[in-house]
Each structure stands twice: as structure tokens, then as C-alpha cells.
Chains A and B, each alone.
Chain A
Amino acid sequence: MALSRRKRARLIRGTQYAILVVVAVVFALTADWTRIQQAFFRPEVVREMFPDVITVALLNTVIYTGLGFGFGLALAIPLALMRLSSVAPYRWISGIYVEFFRGLPALLVILAVGNGVPIAFPGAILNKYLALMVALGIVGSAYMAETLRAGIQAVPAGQVEAARSLGMSPMRTTIWVVIPQAFKIILPPLTNELILLTKDSSLALFLGASISEYELTQFGRVALNQYQSLTPVLVAGVCYLIITIPLSYLSRYLEKRGGGKKISSPESTGLDVTP
């Protein structure tokens, strides 16, 4: 049975719409909408949560993430340079570090740092902010170091040769020419890393905290118990999206502006058929 291109396209698209409609109808008929609404959309609970959900919880999420990201980046730069060093032990140390922390669940690292550091270094004052900065930083740095290494290697050799020809030392060349250009290249993946860290900051939940230290997830969970409602979960979720969706758009914008690699086109997924 030979279909023309146009007929085949119409058939495939029609089938996809049909499936969509069936799923939506089944979902709408089987779910108990009254109970869903009671659980997730209780306006008085939403009102109760303000303004603390913003001024405390969202703010703390941003602070934890920002501190972790900054610390992670500060670790990632030497790690990436070590990975590319001509001194073999540096390469090994960096390689082992990256494989080690990329291979562990973020939660485990947070538990280890949050509870381990006070034991390992008695007298070390580790408040929640510092603990999360270090823990999230370590988790993020393992990924960022690899990204940065790739970025450094993507800087054209001619840029380095030009700098060296002007008498700039390897160190000055790295600082003033290579790293800035590497960062420009890796800005999109770095933004994605920031999104991942934003979500990972929710693991702060497992370190225990005072009210003023609550971030979004913990805030939501406490409110969930308090009001016996799932509405706080929805509110916390919306707050995360307020952070992550703009970042996601920023990442895509940077990627487009940088003329970076294209992600596979829709056709290649076989789901979309061009008219």
C-alpha cells in the first residue's frame, strides 16, 4: 500500500491527535477533580503561606544555590586546569575527584559534609549556609570542571598562539584569553548546571534547620503537615519554576546567540512530520 507523502503525513498527524484526545478524556473522566482541587488548590492555605514562602523559603533556595554555584565554580577552575596540566599527578587528582563526586548521589555528599565536617574538624563552625555551600559546591564542581575543561579545549589554538606571540606567559594567556573565551563557550551548559543545583538545594531538607533557614522544599513539607493539604507542594513547585524556567530560556538564548551546536531536530525524533 503506497501512500503519497502528503497522505502519510496527514495520517501520522491524525493518529497523534487521536491518541492525545483519548488520553485526555480518560484522565478527565477517571480523576476525582473535587478531591484534587481540595488537596492542591486551597486559596486560604496559599494566603497563609505568604509572604514567608518568598521572603524566607525562595530567598534561602536562591542563597543556597548561589553559594553552592559560586563555590563550585571556584573549585571547578583549578580542577579543569589540573585536568589539562602537564604534571601527571594533577591530572590524576582532578580525574579521581571528578569521577568520585559525579558517581555519588548529591544527597550522600550533603549528608557527609553536613554531618562529617563537624566530626572531622572539631571546632569548625558549620552553619547551614556554609555546609550547603560546601556540599552543593562539591557536587556542582565535579560537573562544572568537566564542562570547563571541554570549554578550554574548544578555544581555538590560534588564540593561544596570538597571546604567546605577544609575549604573554602561559599563565597570563590562560587568565586573560583562554578562560574568558572558555566561559563564553560553556555559558549554556553552565546555566543548566545552575538549574540542577537549584533543584539539588532541596536536599538541604535532610540536614535539619531552624525556621529561618527553610528553603522551598522544607518550607513546603512543613506547611503540608501543618495544613494537611498538598497546596504548599504546589506553591513550592511554582516557586521553583519561577527560577528554573527563565534560566532554561536564558540557556537556550545563550546557546543560540553563541551559535552553539544544535540539538537534534524534531524530524529526527520521528514524532513530528513536516508538512
Chain B
Amino acid sequence: MTEVVIEITGLTKSFGQLEVLRGIDLTVTRGQVVCVIGPSGSGKSTLLRCVNLLEEPNSGSVVVNGVELNDPDADIDAARTRIGMVFQSFNLFAHQNVLNNLTLAQRKVLKRDRAKAQEVALANLERVGLSEKVNAMPGELSGGQQQRAAIARALSMDPDVMLFDEPTSALDPELVGEVLSVMRQLATEGMTMLVVTHEMQFAREVADTVLFMDAGVVVEQGPATQVIGNPRQERTKSFLHRVLNPVHVDEK
């Protein structure tokens, strides 16, 4: 039960002069849910994007499913089919309906035939509760539905691990719940997940490990009860204070 899915060591990343990640170490084992929290601009998205090489690390190693992604000779496309990515802005293919969004990569990359790809797609749409939106265009869906379709699209590739980059941050408040409940269900089914989120309640309930990042380093990590419930670091405390009491932000 302690098979390692993601192993990050000494990861650094700069954009020009700006050091965004300054030596990150992180291990995610199979079935684990790891939530990353931290202030805006602390490098959470960049960390996640390094895990599927949307950003190229400057140094350090990122091993996913035993493949060193930071190796120029790695078959990155093959590795990515095993890594599901969910974006803050959904990024459904705007020119295709929901079904084709889910079947495109299955057919072009995994070389599944149309019937098989559709079967997988329909099963995953059902999983996220979108069976009746098979033929809808992305623009006809609410934000919550788009995000659930995007999750189903990633799941259709049968990934070993799912990455979520603030999946509910672009949603109207009343639509957050439907997406979180899909993610909660995935976690229950044993999916390995690395989730950047500001939903502290979700992190508390679902995360096995919570990581607090600030200014490109992991300040504190541990079980949710500890990092969120009883933080040791001053920076974690003040961040949580600001997040959990947004109205009283000026008190401290």
C-alpha cells in the first residue's frame, strides 16, 4: 500500500529572475490525497504544472510512475496519459461537444476505436453526473458542469493520478459543491490525487496530507488535523487566519 506514485526531490523553478520554487520535496503514494494550500503567488500552480511538465523544472527530479519527467529523453506524452490534469479554467475544447471532448485523446493517443472510446466516455460522464449533457457544447454548460466534464475527460484516459489546480476557484459559490462532491467520491474510490485548493473544509475532510506552501518552499506539511487544525508555523497560522476569517482580515 505504500507504492510511490509521485516523487519530487529538490525541485526548483525560476521565471527569469523570479525564483518561484526553491527546493520542493514531496512524495505521494498510491491512493493518497495530498492538498496544497498557500497564498496566491506562492508557486502552487507551478509545482503542479511541473508534475506533468507543463513547466520545465530548472533542477531537481520529478518521478511519476517511475518515469523521470525531467529527463529530456523521457516519453513525456506517454507519461502524461497516466496523469490527469484539471485546470482552474476547465479548458474544455471549445469546438467540440462534451462527448468528443472525452473521446478525442482516447482515440488519437490511446488509439481506442470509436465505440470503445464512447463507452469509456459515457461511463465517466455518468460517474460525474453529466449523462444528459453528452451532446452539449462547452459554452452551453454551467461552470460546475464544465469542470465535471473536464474531470470526466481526464478520467477517460484511465490515469494513475489526478492533479487539480484550484478546480473550484473560477466557480460561482453555489456550483462549488457539485465539483467537490465528485472529487470526494474519487478520493473514496481510491484515486491518487494532488489538489491545490482554497477549500479548507474539503482539505480537512479528504486530505491525507496537507502541504502549506509560501514563497516557493513547503513551510509545513502533515495530516490535515495538524496543518489546518493546529498549525505550528507562524506563516501557516496567519494564512489560515486570513482564509478562515476573510471578513476580519484587518484584525491581525
Residues of A within 8 A of B (CB): 156, 158-159, 161-169, 172, 176-177, 180-181, 184
Q: Is B54 touching A163 in the complex (CB atoms < 8 A)?
A: no
From residue B26, how far is it (CB to closest CB) to chain A in Å?
19
A165-B83, A181-B93 provided; 9 other pairs, C-beta below 8 A? A161-B54, A165-B80, A165-B154, A168-B104, A169-B77, A176-B108, A177-B104, A180-B95, A181-B95
Decide if A159 touches B93 in the complex (CB within 8 Å): yes
Most buried by B among A156, A164, A165, A181: A165
Contact of A184 among B52, B87, B95, B109 (CB under 8 A): B95
For B87, give the chain A residue with the smallest CB separation: A158
* Least Cβ–Cβ distance between A178 and chain B, in angstroms: 10
Q: Which residues of B contact A164 (CB under 8 A)?
A: 54, 77, 80
Q: Is the CB of B94 within 8 A of A167?
A: no
Q: Is the CB of B105 within 8 A of A167?
A: yes
Question: Considering the complex of A and B, which 7 residue pairs feature the smallest CB-CB distances, nearest first?
Answer: A167-B81, A166-B105, A162-B91, A165-B85, A158-B91, A167-B80, A167-B109
Bound complex: CA A163 to CA B78 (Å): 13
B residues in contact with A184, CB < 8 Å: 95
Closest to B89 in A: A158
Contact in complex: A167, B91 (CB < 8 Å): no
Q: Is B92 at the interface (CB under 8 A from chain A)?
A: yes
Partner of B81, one of A162, A166, A172: A166
CB distance from A247 to the nearest CB of B (A): 23
Q: Which of B134-163 contact A (CB under 8 A)?
A: 150, 153-154, 157
A166 and B157 form a contact (CB under 8 A): yes
Question: Roughly how many angstroms separate A206 CA and B217 CA in the complex, as a whole number?
Answer: 72
- Beta-carbon contact of A162 and B109 below 8 Å: no
Q: A161-B54, A161-B87, A176-B108 in contact; A166/B153 too (CB < 8 A)?
A: yes
CB atoms of A168 and B105 under 8 A apart: yes
Q: Is the CB of B108 within 8 A of A165?
A: no
Closest to A165 in B: B85
Q: Compute how far the CA of A181 lies from the CA of B85 in the bound complex, rounded to whole angstroms.
A: 21
Q: Which residues of A contact B109 (CB under 8 A)?
A: 166-168, 172
Q: A165 and B94 in contact (CB under 8 A), knowing A158-B87, A172-B108, A176-B108?
A: no
Cβ of B80: which chain A residues have Cβ within 8 Å of it? Answer: 164-167
Q: How far is the CA of A176 from the CA of B80 in the complex (A)?
A: 17
**Bound: A167/B91 CA distance, A:** 15
Quick check: B81 and A177 within 8 Å, CB to CB? no
Q: Among A156, A158, A166, which residue has the most Cβ atoms of chain B within 10 A? A: A166
Q: Which residues of B contact A181 (CB under 8 A)?
A: 93-95
B110 / chain A contacts, CB cutoff of 8 Å: 167
Across the two chains, which residue of chain A brings its CB closest to B94? A181
Given the known interface contacts A167-B80, A167-B81, the answer about A162 and B93 at a Cβ–Cβ threshold of 8 Å is yes
Cβ B94 vs Cβ A162 within 8 A: no
